[in-house]
């Protein structure tokens, strides 16, 4: 198939690579330029999102935030200027569910289909083609794109209409953030009490407290490897979406709010680009105590 991929960062580059490995043509665009490695795999670099939309039948977008998706789709030389009847836009970014419904309506008005399909699994999942993909849109469009999703992920679910995928992703980010915060508190408590945090983590991995967060991010906290992964500034953005939605619905999400404030503390201390496991640094700063020594490693904090 003739596919387009816009946004080739930490996540997008390996995702596009899997589509290429699946035997598809990929027309690519990225603000910072299409990575040489993706071109070497066979991607054809384009000068604009509009050119991608002209050449591809299904266009994937994977960019950081709601304004970036709006610009890619509807800005100067955007997808809307190059798309034609019968084509499909699949936004795999993590953005506002409300804006997603508006974007879908605009694309539908051009006689094209739209899916919102945010992902979970981070850089590891993107590289391993094991992403969880949460999809909003029509069943017919989902069925058409599903074989392509299967090249990039393992757990692929049609949640409901447009916007439902993004709603599911916001819920996912609440769960992940609060789990990271809980693991950080637990390891900080253990280390401050004089226990070996690595052995505490090992023990917890065999009980009810076990989780992927404890496995992956607990190890990062102990080893001080906070190179992203998934940047704190992006998770902070996702929690802001959760709190904005909660306010609009009259919901109280107290732990989401407190965890978002911890992420804001990390950003204030220069941690916008840390992996989201670096959330533990806000707890450590407040406690004036660090779980384990910082190694002589440029990727550590």
Residues involved in catalysis? 169
**Is 207 within 8 Å of 138 (Cβ atoms)?**
no
Reading phi first (left if > 0) and then psi (alpha if -120 to 50, else beta), residue 68 is in: alpha
The residue behind tokens 């939605």 is 245
Q: How far is CA 146 from CA 102, 151, 289, in A?
A: 23, 9, 48
- Distance from C-alpha of 239 to C-alpha of 261, rounded to nearest angstrom: 10
Helices (H), the chain: 12-21, 36-40, 49-55, 66-74, 79-82, 97-108, 122-128, 139-152, 164-192, 197-204, 212, 218-223, 232-249, 254-268, 280-287
Give the contacts of 145 (CB within 8 A, at least 6 positions apart). 58, 88, 90, 115, 117
Return the bridge partners of 116, or none: 91, 136
């Amino acid at each position: 198939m003739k596919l387009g991929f816009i946004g080739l960062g930490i996540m997008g580059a390996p995702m596009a690579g899997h589509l290429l490995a699946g035997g598809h043509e990929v027309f690519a665009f990225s603000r910072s330029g299409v990575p040489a490695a993706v071109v070497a795999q066979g991607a054809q670099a384009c000068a604009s999102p509009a050119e991608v939309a002209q050449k591809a039948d299904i266009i994937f977008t994977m960019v950081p935030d709601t304004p970036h998706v709006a610009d890619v789709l509807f800005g100067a030389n955007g997808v809307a200027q190059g798309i034609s009847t019968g084509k499909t836009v699949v936004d795999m970014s993590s953005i506002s569910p409300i804006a997603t419904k508006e974007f879908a309506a605009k694309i539908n008005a051009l006689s094209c289909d739209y899916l919102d399909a945010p992902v979970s699994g981070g850089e590891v999942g993107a590289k391993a083609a094991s992403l969880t993909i949460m999809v909003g849109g029509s069943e017919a469009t989902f069925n058409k794109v599903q074989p392509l999703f299967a090249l990039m992920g393992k757990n692929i679910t049609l949640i409901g209409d447009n916007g439902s995928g993004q709603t599911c992703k916001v819920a996912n980010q609440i769960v992940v953030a609060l789990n990271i915060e809980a693991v950080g508190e637990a390891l900080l408590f253990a280390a401050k009490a004089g226990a070996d945090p690595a052995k505490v983590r090992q023990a917890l991995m065999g009980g009810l407290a076990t989780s992927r967060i404890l496995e992956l991010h607990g190890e990062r906290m102990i080893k001080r490897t906070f190179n992203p992964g998934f940047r704190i500034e992006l998770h902070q953005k996702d929690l802001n979406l959760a709190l904005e939605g909660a306010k609009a619905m009259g919901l109280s999400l107290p732990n989401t709010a407190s965890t978002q404030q911890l992420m804001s503390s990390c950003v204030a201390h220069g941690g916008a680009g840390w992996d989201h496991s670096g959330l533990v640094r806000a707890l450590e700063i407040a406690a004036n105590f660090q779980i384990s020594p910082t190694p002589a490693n440029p990727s550590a904090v």
